[in-house]
Structure 1
Amino acid sequence: MTTTVLFVCVHNAGRSQMAAGWLRHLAGDRVEVRSAGSAPAAGLNPVAVRAMAEVGIDITAEQPRLLDHATAETSDVIVTMGCGDACPYFPGKRYEDWPLDDPAGRDITAVRPIRDAIRTRVEQLLTDLP
């Protein structure tokens, strides 16, 4: 059985998309990767897209999605990044909250360290997955 990981942030345009990109890149088919937002933006954060492209990861095919009950309920691990009370809670799920700066409105110099912090957290998450 493949482990399903859901990354959730408010706009699903920056942090959660970068985390999903890292996990897809590092885990391949070993993990099913999902991302969603409590109030999704109209499109991806272009600076987040650029920051990921700098490390060879293309996230341009992704689109912000609204977090729905079924997606959360059928995920094994839910990683939240600043969505607060809008993040659902389901008993029996593994939860992690990653306190990361929001890349919205920041330039590439400010987004690179966020991207790199996300990679470190994704690598740690991978070591803890079945």
Structure 2
Amino acid sequence: ASTLDPIARAQFLDLLLQIIQNENRTIIISSHILSDVEKVIDHTVIMKQGRILLDCGFDQLRERFSRVRLSALSGVLPAELPFANVVQCQRSNGQAILTVQDSSREQIEEAAQGLKCKIEIQTLTLEDIYKIVVS
């Protein structure tokens, strides 16, 4: 689908969605256009150099990763942030953006309770997750 113009690509995705409506079908999609892929999949296999790194349902995969945005209400955030399973962290001027793995929304909110900050929790895209898994 990467060589298709935007209209043909949308038509291809619509056709693919029609085909997979039948639950008795399995379609294997190999693509690097992950924004398109995540619209139609229910299972994910991520590979690197012929090795399977991850093999699970797409909903399960999306539940495993979260992006946490913290903004200090006054001053700065503490040097040590109380979150488990942080796989990425960027900090700047009283703000932090964390990527956490295998922590539920409730666990994240509970860990943030004493921080005196605004917190936003977002679900990652398949492309974001792919970059984390293969790096």
Give TM-score, length-normalised by structure 2: 0.25
Q: Higher Cα Rg: structure 1 or 2?
A: 2
Q: Which has the higher strand share?
A: 2
Give TM-score, length-normalised by structure 1: 0.25
